[in-house]
Each structure stands twice: as structure tokens, then as C-alpha cells.
Amino acid sequence: MDSAKRFTASAARRSMSSWRPKKVWPQNARTFLREKKGREGEKKEETALAKLSSNVAGQIIRQHGAAKIRSR
């Protein structure tokens, strides 16, 4: 859990200037990213999920398992 939080924080800081959606709710974040980026594979999708605002990203990581993201 701790490492997931750390990863989220660093990713959020890195992506602060590049790309941030206005407001994405956790339940439709996956669909939103698929529409925005197309089907580019799970890894890029998980990375993009971490680029959301850290609060939303934390909720998504908690829902979809931090292990998948940690084992990149």
C-alpha cells in the first residue's frame, strides 16, 4: 500500500505539467482513457491511470490492485 502511494505521488508530480483531465470519476476513468488513447495495452493504461489527480489515482489503485502497477 505504501509503495503504491509513493508511486502515485511521484507519477502525479511528473505529470503535473503534461496532461491532466479536468475531472474523471473512478468508475469511468478506464473508459475515458481507452477513448482518449485508444487500445495501447494494459501497461500504458495503468501508467495513464496514475497520471490522473493523485486522489482519483489512489482510489483506482485501491480498486484494481496495486500489485499490477507495482510489478511494472
Tell me the pLDDT tens digit for each residue of 12-44. Answer: 565 555 555 555 555 566 666 666 665 555 566
- Please report the pLDDT score of residue 46 as a whole number: 64
Percent of the chain at pLDDT exceeding 70? 0
- Please report the pLDDT score of residue 42 as a whole number: 57
Rounded to two decimals, the pTM is 0.17
Domain membership of residue 51 as a residue range: 2-70
Number of structural domains in the chain:
1
Percent of the chain at pLDDT exceeding 90? 0
19 vs 53, 63, 66, 71, CA distance in Å? 10, 23, 22, 24
- Please report the pLDDT score of residue 22 as a whole number: 57
Burial class of 45 by CB neighbour count within 10 A (0 to 12, 13 to 18, 19+): middle
